[in-house]
């Protein structure tokens, strides 16, 4: 789980070896404006790896932690809840094969998923989440069909009143 592109500073060491019971993909409200774009609202997507009845590890790819403002940093945070109350949309997936937090993260690192650059207009989070779900399904940590289920929700922008279609814009995985 070591990489210069991973921030584990808020991960309790003991959580790395915990079995992940469920994986939750959560959409949060995020207001921002992008120059030269009509997009004024979007979602911030996070992944929660449930490790007990009331704890999880939050997995995020954050942009802007490097000089260019677009290079992502994979962040792991131990939290004392399954996922926060302020989510707009939740997808829940039961894990297969009793993976640990460490194994799920190592699967991503093995494919270079911690090395990600967002687009110039700061998009790409949906694509990163879609790719992560696909990787875990391919590794048989998630049931067949999980990627398509995730894609159905990721192609919608969620807000308090419902949703509207939005494109999954890919960022770039780099070596």
pLDDT tens track of the chain, all 175 residues? Answer: 667 889 999 999 999 999 999 999 999 987 654 544 444 458 999 999 999 999 999 999 998 666 678 999 999 999 999 999 999 999 999 999 999 999 999 999 999 999 999 999 889 999 999 999 999 999 999 999 999 999 999 999 998 889 999 999 999 999 8
* Whole-angstrom distance, CA of residue 90 vs CA of residue 24: 6
* Whole-angstrom distance, CA of residue 167 vs CA of residue 132: 17
- Asked, for residue 98, whether it belongs to a domain, the answer is yes
Can you give the C-alpha Rg of the chain in angstroms? 15
- Asked, for residue 155, whether it belongs to a domain, the answer is yes
In terms of residue numbers, what domain contains 49?
6-173
- Per the structure, how many domains does the chain have? 1
- Asked, for residue 141, whether it belongs to a domain, the answer is yes
- Asked, for residue 116, whether it belongs to a domain, the answer is yes
- Asked, for residue 146, whether it belongs to a domain, the answer is yes
> Quick check: 20 and 105 in contact, CB under 8 A?
no
Q: Give the largest CA-CA distance in the chain.
A: 46
Q: State pTM to two decimals.
A: 0.92
Tokens of 103: 């194994």
- Asked, for residue 1, whether it belongs to a domain, the answer is no
């Amino acid at each position: 789980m070591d990489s210069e592109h991973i921030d584990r500073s808020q991960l309790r060491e003991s959580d790395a070896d915990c079995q992940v019971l469920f994986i939750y993909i959560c959409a949060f409200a995020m207001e921002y404006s992008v120059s030269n774009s009509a997009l004024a609202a979007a979602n911030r997507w996070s992944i929660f790896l449930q490790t007990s009845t009331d704890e999880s590890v939050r997995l995020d790819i954050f942009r802007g932690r490097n000089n260019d403002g677009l290079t992502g940093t994979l962040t792991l945070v131990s939290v004392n809840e399954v996922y926060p109350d302020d989510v707009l949309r939740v997808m829940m997936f039961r894990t297969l094969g009793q993976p640990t937090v460490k194994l799920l993260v190592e699967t991503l690192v093995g494919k270079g998923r911690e090395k990600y650059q967002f687009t110039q207009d700061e998009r790409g989070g949906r694509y990163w989440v879609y790719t992560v779900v696909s990787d875990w399904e391919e590794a048989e940590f998630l049931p067949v069909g999980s990627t398509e289920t995730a894609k159905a929700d990721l192609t919608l922008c969620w807000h308090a009143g419902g949703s509207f279609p939005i494109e999954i814009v890919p960022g770039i995985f780099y070596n």
